Amino acid sequence: MALIIPLCSSSSGNSVFIGSRSAGILIDAGCSFRKLRLLLDSCEIGIEAVKAVLVTHEHSDHIKGLFQLTKHTEIPVYASGGTLSALMTENAVYSGANLYGLSELKNAPTDFEIKAFSTPHDSAESVGFTLEKNDLKIAYCTDLGIITSEVRENIIGSDFVFLESNYEPELLRRNRNYPAFLKRRITSDIGHLPNGDCAEFLIELVKNGATRFILGHLSRENNTPALAYESAVHYLAQSGAKHNRDYTLEIAPAETEGRVVAV
């Protein structure tokens, strides 16, 4: 069994804890270190339970708390070579941080077998992760413009999937606060995943054995939890999959409300 806790999940900050109350890993540290500790505490998990941090990429909503975390703890950080270079160039990690490339994931202090795969995003070298232990496979994948063959091959066969459902196209189209170049970036193949594309992929995942989903990284301006949820349930229903019979679905909150998912 593993506990999965979306500590924060939105276009403002992203961090997920996976493990047990005594030992686990963080994927990303996208809120301040102080906030991160408060969110962990609210779920009855101390910072000492974090044994490793996996970083998907260097955008601020994924690494905001990383400098202070690496300054005040000795928790090892794992990321792709491109991401590590970007983190050091941008002084996003403390000079004495314990940094490791993806080839060192096999030595990470965790019971999970962790693998990384490339994701199409406008960053140095973004990745998603799968975590396996016994007969359980967990996949984490956000910040991708499209579902590539590499993403598909790595995620299909997972029992539990945390997947991006970032924006509703019509809301983005009507958003006058977003300039045209930003809209083009978001909707590009190296931008973010819209609700419909996410929902279509969920159909594949259910057909290949996935039963538990959390949708995350929702845009606060161009999406709502209700729209993401309704889109997923609608697409899955059209394929014959019934909610709470064939799968369960949750939307990650912008900040944790203490909800813990056990898989």
Q: Does domain 3-262 have CATH number 3.40.50.300?
A: no
Full-model pTM: 0.96
Q: How confident is the model at residue 259 (pLDDT cuts 50, 70, 90)?
A: confident
Q: What are 119-157's pLDDT values in tens digits?
A: 999 999 999 999 999 999 999 999 999 999 999 999 999
Domain map of the chain by residue range? 3-262
CA pair distance 235, 226, nearest whole angstrom: 14
Asked if the model's pLDDT at residue 263 lies above 80, the reply is no
Q: How confident is the model at residue 257 (pLDDT cuts 50, 70, 90)?
A: confident
Two structure tokens written together for 247:
């799968």
Q: Decide: helix, strand or coil at residue 88.
A: helix
User: What is residue 217's predicted lDDT score, i.e. its pLDDT?
Assistant: 97
CA pair distance 88, 168, nearest whole angstrom: 34
∠ CA 198-200-201, nearest 5°, is: 65
Q: What are 190-205's pLDDT values in tens digits?
A: 999 999 999 999 999 9
CA pair distance 116, 93, nearest whole angstrom: 21
Report percent pLDDT > 90 for the chain. Answer: 97
Helical spans, DSSP H, in 214-256: 225-238
Two structure tokens written together for 71:
């300054």
CA pair distance 40, 45, nearest whole angstrom: 5
